[in-house]
Structure 1
């Protein structure tokens, strides 16, 4: 029902280490709930954190839509569904990858609800539950749109039963025959009885006798679930671009010195190596690469840094991984402002936290690379120890045809960078916790607020708050800037047209160069990092 917000994306009976536990998945986090105590005992825990030695792939870390254990017949196998994709993990092998990510079509009986292109024919991912007892051992129950399908894990993707109306297999009350939101087993005396939840109602069901044991409001049986229901909220979404400026190279640490006698020749192998045998190539950072692996690593580090920030309980960040060329990752969507209208200026605290976390995440990428690698020179490849792995190898050869000794010094080569975090735009977003969020550019903020707030005084109060927060934005230069037009139409809100800002770069010769960026440069950070090239210099 449109007015019935689902508190969770998925509910799953936990593994054997938590016999009374449910995993409650909500967005990019999950919680551990105790069925006996009706209490959340752990969480929120980011989905980016590993399950044992494994980890969900990037696609699934922003949230899942359904999950299922394969039951006593296949106790090590757990599967997570996101849209039309699934990913299976092996708990016995430390939650390592078992299968996927791949599409459900041709792999699961639930594929009967998919179109030929593999997408669901109607919105929504089926609710899944493992089978119990002699009849359903090795089976998975799927419920979607009032229909039921049974998957046999032993025989593959063809349905064991269905799709059939739910009522043909399950003697449930009428309200459960059109929609099932969650299905999970109980605990204690009811550990093999199923809890079905539909909207605000639940039933406890004995599947062997096909009989309802108990039923009633969810709020009465699982009162703690109520705290997870999404509430309506307004927030600002700020669009950031992370741009990297590449500066001149310079010489760093002295690695080796060699002399060449008159009429002599020298040959040297210039090697970047590591003792980490699992590392096959030089690690890269957001400064020098925008490929998927590097950016996913950056987002993981950013998630970790933001979740450890003191403001993380009040604010959340959503990362939209879209990229353009070498300019950097675009659309780092800024902090969700759960606006306390009496707390002016807290938006700026959120912006500062994002800046610090972004630069800290890049810094940790760079530090890991420096820690893992070493640069040396060798006279022959035979000198390289068998305990190291060569990541990069260059050859230097020089003949001294003069009558004097020449001296060569070998230096690590350094590259300078400047990273700019640029605020590009701002929109106002309203979410009621159920339907798709409504988004408005600032000139349309008044209309959006009038649609969702009944009191005109509250509309005016929120507009004043937004004007204050967007008129006092501190840039990289420490100066306070306004993002707003001074005289917007109709006295409302509007972003400045063609807003630009400048960053002054000091060149090696002491001169200065201004770099212009569209938007407001919120923060900047300078780096000088090894390129893992060794440069010979004749002295």
Structure 2
């Protein structure tokens, strides 16, 4: 999982010192709407591109928006943005206007104008001019950014057996007995490896499907634009971390932000587990029925088991025949953290273990004071991780051999306490790292039934 630290652009090497053009209005300006002609013209004017003179050869006035766009395009080093003169006009004095020529020229202008929108948006971002598209805020460009790259482990433990759906019931008189057949039909739908789930299978297709569900959930929460960084992780989130001044309140806010992203990830993981458990139980559902000793079976039958039930009591009893299910407890634990630098250029991507954080900061952060503040903030974030019980845990430890004085605690282990419905302890599991979320689900055990007395009948 990638958690963006939300650092400002100007702390990075190459962006420090105010390289970007100042905001035309220091007090803040309302966003310009690039879906409207007035908004586009205002955008060009704010960037200093005034509409040029009307130079069309047809004797009509070109709209100001096209003339401002032409002035802008002259400064943009992209092929094909200069609007050529229509061939029918070259060398003709006075210009000859043929049918459709004006429409064609205007259409060509409009086409090249659309091509200039992407570089226009880049210039607006550089100049810190806010803009929208039809009132919708534009997505953030891929500014340089640091990320916590958190690695998680999903450990599964087998729990208790329990009864599932009721298949049938039989009545036994006092001291009586009955011999019957349990007939298991073939599966109603073919099972495949995808339905094994990551809970009880390491099949590659099942894991890929699980990761895709996580990615889709992340995109819905944070927007697919975040994936333009080329993340290889399954989930990504945004945490806004303010630096400067060593403010304790800012670090508390940052800690809360990163823990919110972890909780989003945990919820997405639970949702993916639920989806695969549901699919597995569906594929394992079989047609099971009971019958007398003389009941005939057919080619659909998978297996037949003959059983005898006894009633040693002096009272009539009813016996239920149930399918069986087994509890699975999956514990999501944070086990490792690295630091990544991304700026949208894959050739400049960097990702280092926590012990090399200082080297990375030296390479990508301009000012020494910012490096110190960012390192302290990252340390505070990793010392303030909320576990599955909402208790604050640390995944780092003091390390005098590290240049920054801390490193990841590679030996960290934790207990996950599985509780009964009344809050008392049922079982304890030992897991690596810090447990963030537990998920208790049940999977159907195929081909297995159990007979239990039905009380109160």
Shorter-chain TM range is: 0.5 to 0.7
CA distance in 2 between counterparts of 1:418 and 1:263 reads: 39
Could you tell me which residue of structure 1 aligns to residue 5 of structure 2? none
Cα separation, partners in 2 of 1:235 and 1:251, compared to 1, 3 Å: same
Per the alignment, residue 191 of structure 2 pairs with 281
Aligned with 1:413 (options 307, 324, 327): 324
- Which of the residues 348, 351, 356 maps onto 2:267? 356
Following superposition of structure 1 onto structure 2, how do residues 114-513 of structure 1 map, counting pairs within 5 Å? 201-203=78-80, 220=116, 222-223=118-119, 226=122, 230-258=142-170, 265-271=179-185, 273-274=187-188, 279-281=189-191, 283-309=195-221, 311-312=222-223, 335=237, 339-341=241-243, 342=250, 343-345=253-255, 346-370=257-281, 373=285, 375-379=287-291, 393-398=302-307, 408-434=319-345, 435-486=347-398, 488=400, 489-505=402-418, 512-513=426-427
Q: Is the partner of 1:305 in helix, strand or coil?
A: helix
Which has the higher Rg, Structure 1 or Structure 2? 2
Unaligned runs of 5+ in 2: 1-33, 38-75, 88-107, 126-139, 244-249
More strand by share: 1
Which residue of 1 is the match for residue 431 of structure 2? 517
Quick one: which of 501, 505, 527 aligns to 2:441?
Answer: 527
Change (3 A) 1:383 1:407: farther
Q: CA deviation at 1:486?
A: 3.6
Report the alpha carbon displacement of residue 382 of structure 1 after superposing the two structures with TM.
6.0
Measured at CA, do residues 263 and 256 of structure 1 come closer, stay the same or move farther in structure 2, by a change above 3 Å?
closer
Q: 1:349 to 1:536 in 2, by over 3 A?
A: closer
- Distance between the aligned counterparts of 1:242 and 1:332, measured in 2? 13
* Contact residue 200 and residue 219 of structure 1 kept, 8 A: no
Change (3 A) 1:367 1:264: closer
Cα distance in structure 1, aligned partners of 2:223 and 2:334? 20
CA contact (8 A) 2:154 2:330 kept: yes
SS at match of 1:284: helix
Residue of structure 1 in register with 2:131 after alignment = none
> Residues 262-298 of structure 1, C-alpha deviation per residue, up to 9 Å, x if partnerless?
7874223134754xxxx41273332222212322222
8 Å contact from structure 2 (residues 145, 342) kept in 1: yes
Paired with 1:313 and 1:472, the residues of 2 have a C-alpha distance of 28
Q: Is the 8 A contact 2:165 2:322 kept in 1?
A: yes
What is the Cα deviation at residue 401 of structure 1? Answer: 10
* Counterparts of residues 11-26 of structure 1 (less than 5 Å): none
Contact 1:415 1:528 in 2 (8 A): yes
- What per-residue deviation string (whole Å, max 9, x for no partner) do you get for residues 217-265 of structure 1? 9984643674786332111101111111111212233221136897874
Please identify which structure carries the higher helix content. 2
Number of equivalent positions? 319
Q: Distance in 2 between matches of 1:356 and 1:438?
A: 29
Q: Alpha-carbon deviations, 1:483-515, whole Å to 9, x = none?
A: 22145444443112411111124589x875432
Residues in 1 aligned to 2:312 and 2:391: alpha-carbon distance in whole angstroms? 61
Residue 503 of structure 1 aligns to a residue whose secondary structure is strand
TM-score with structure 1 setting the length: 0.49
> 2:231, 2:344 → 1: CA distance?
19
Q: CA deviation at 1:357?
A: 0.6
Contact 2:388 2:437 in 1 (8 A): yes
Cα 1:496/1:413, change in 2 over 3 Å: same
How many angstroms does 1:429 deviate by? 0.9
- Tell me which of the two structures has the higher relative contact order, counting C-alpha pairs closer than 8 angstroms and 6 or more residues apart: 2
Of stretches 516-525 and 340-349 in structure 1, the one that deviates more from structure 2 is 340-349
Question: How much has 1:370 moved relative to structure 2?
Answer: 4.8
Specify the SS of the correspondent of 1:477: coil
The alignment's TM-score, normalised by the length of structure 2, stands at: 0.57
